[in-house]
């Protein structure tokens, strides 16, 4: 079986002198929850946008299920961007219909079940919801797809601890066994218990790719503490 995601010498430069992703080579397998960690400006978001085909590489290749980003890869990737693109005057049930029309793998019943379990009314407009509830709605839309790869860019930024627990539980209970979840965040201590692997990225390069349990066994410290040491911040 081919790797779910394969990047080879992947490079993205902005203008003449800003190298956001720098000859990055990585292979990502199936059935893992992976943290994509790195300081601000390390290239996390650029890497994610390259995977999603929102940016084209300056150099090198990126393959999803063995093919370059395109229509097929977008069918298989469920992406939660850092900033929302949803119309705030739409009602939650309209968004569900919208996603149902757009993605073949969208499961409406699952979306409604999750809304109900979080006590979110489906006939309310997005703009009337609190920040935390908006985040939850967007996560529900993404996790209701039956995708191969879920990419969540900062899914827990700015939500309270209870909402965070709920978001993490939703992620754990809703990805399928062969799917991989790629989570970008700098709130490491909040999420490290749900991760299989971590990828540390710095200056557009992979600094470390390992498992959470390896870090704990080899260094006797949390991923959060290890991260602070590696990046000396």
Q: Which residues bind other proteins (CB under 8 A)?
A: 31-33, 165, 168-169, 172-173, 189, 192-196, 212-213, 216-217, 220-222, 224-225
| Alpha-carbon distances, residue 224 vs 72, 144, 145, 196, 219 (angstroms) | 36, 30, 30, 14, 12
Q: 123 or 173, CB closer to other proteins?
A: 173
Residue whose token pair is 């063995």 = 66
CA distance 67 to 61: 10
Q: 24 or 34, CB closer to other proteins?
A: 34
Q: List, in order, residues 6 or more apart from 89 with CB less than 8 Å away.
A: 125, 126, 127
Q: Minimum Å distance from CB 216 to other proteins?
A: 5
Q: 153 or 192, CB closer to other proteins?
A: 192
Q: Minimum Å distance from CB 193 to other proteins?
A: 5
Q: Minimum Å distance from CB 148 to other proteins?
A: 17
CA nearest neighbour of 183 among 64, 80, 34:
34
Q: 58 or 222, CB closer to other proteins?
A: 222
CA distance 187 to 194: 13
Q: 16 or 173, CB closer to other proteins?
A: 173
Q: Minimum Å distance from CB 77 to other proteins?
A: 21
CA distance 76 to 104: 10
HSE (side-chain half, CA atoms, 13 Å) at 135: 22
Q: Minimum Å distance from CB 183 to other proteins?
A: 11
DSSP state of 42: S
């Amino acid at each position: 079986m081919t790797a779910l995601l394969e990047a080879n010498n992947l490079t993205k430069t902005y203008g003449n002198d800003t190298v956001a992703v720098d000859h990055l080579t990585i292979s990502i397998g199936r059935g893992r929850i992976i943290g994509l960690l790195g300081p601000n400006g390390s290239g996390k978001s650029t890497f994610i946008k390259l995977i999603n085909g929102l940016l084209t590489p300056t150099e090198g290749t990126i393959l999803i299920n063995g093919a370059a980003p395109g229509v097929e890869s977008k069918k298989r990737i469920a992406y939660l961007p850092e900033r929302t693109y949803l119309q705030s005057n739409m009602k939650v049930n309209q968004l569900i219909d919208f996603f149902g029309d757009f993605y073949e793998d969208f499961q409406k019943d699952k979306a409604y079940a999750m809304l109900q379990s979080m006590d979110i009314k489906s006939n309310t407009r997005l703009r009337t919801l609190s920040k935390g509830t908006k985040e939850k709605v967007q996560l529900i839309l993404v996790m209701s797809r039956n995708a191969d790869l879920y990419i969540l860019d900062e899914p827990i930024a700015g939500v309270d601890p209870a909402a965070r627990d709920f978001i993490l539980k939703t992620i754990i209970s809703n990805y399928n066994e062969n799917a991989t979840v790629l989570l970008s965040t700098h709130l490491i201590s909040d999420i490290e218990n749900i991760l299989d692997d971590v990828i540390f990225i710095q200056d557009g390069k992979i600094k470390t790719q390992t498992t959470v349990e390896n870090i704990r066994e080899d260094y006797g410290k949390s991923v959060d503490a290890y991260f602070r040491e590696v990046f000396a911040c």
